[in-house]
Amino acid sequence: MSKKGVMGDFSVQPRTANTGATIWTVACDVDDLAPDRPLGIRLAETAICLVRTAGEVFAVHDECTHGAVPLSDGEVDGCTIECWLHGSRFDLRSGEALGPPATEPVRTFPVRVISGVVSVDIG
């Protein structure tokens, strides 16, 4: 079933595929995130890499799709993060792998910031 035309709604109020419920998990205060410095955390057994950059907060799976090392040990450049081991770069907005050796995208998660509190929908 196509979701074309409603994806914008999901980016504002994401819903899980199975229940339709929005599940926000509090991650940290936004002030805990230094600009352009990735932070690796675990939320409900899921490794998350949080990045505050370009006036937004992004969350991606904290595991490079090439070699399963933490992306939170990598470097941020604009809205991308570079894996420290072999240099693959990922788009923080889409998860797309922008350069080899990684070819698979990294999973991204919806983020909201309310009153300085960062929450992630880990689905």
- Edge-to-edge strands, sheet with 75-77: 75-77, 80-82, 89-91
Task: Determine, following the binding rule CB under 6 A, whether residue 95 of this chain makes contact with ligand FES.
Answer: no
Place of tokens 């999973």: 107
Contact 72, 84 (CB under 8 A): no
Smallest distance, ligand FES to C-beta of residue 24, A: 29
Task: Determine, following the binding rule CB under 6 A, whether residue 104 of this chain makes contact with ligand FES.
Answer: no
Q: Of 22-30, 33-41, 80-88, 113-121, which part binds ligand FES (CB under 6 A)?
A: 80-88
Contact 88, 78 (CB under 8 A): no
Contact 107, 63 (CB under 8 A): no
Smallest distance, ligand FES to C-beta of residue 88, A: 4
Among 14, 95, 101, 105, binds ligand FES (CB under 6 A): 101
Site string for ligand FES, 47-76 (x = CB under 6 A): -----------------x-xx-x-------
Task: Determine, following the binding rule CB under 6 A, whether residue 86 of this chain makes contact with ligand FES.
Answer: yes
Place of tokens 């991606």: 60
Q: Choose among 57, 34, 53, 32: nearest CA to 108.
A: 57
Decide whether 24 or 84 has the Cβ nearer to ligand FES.
84
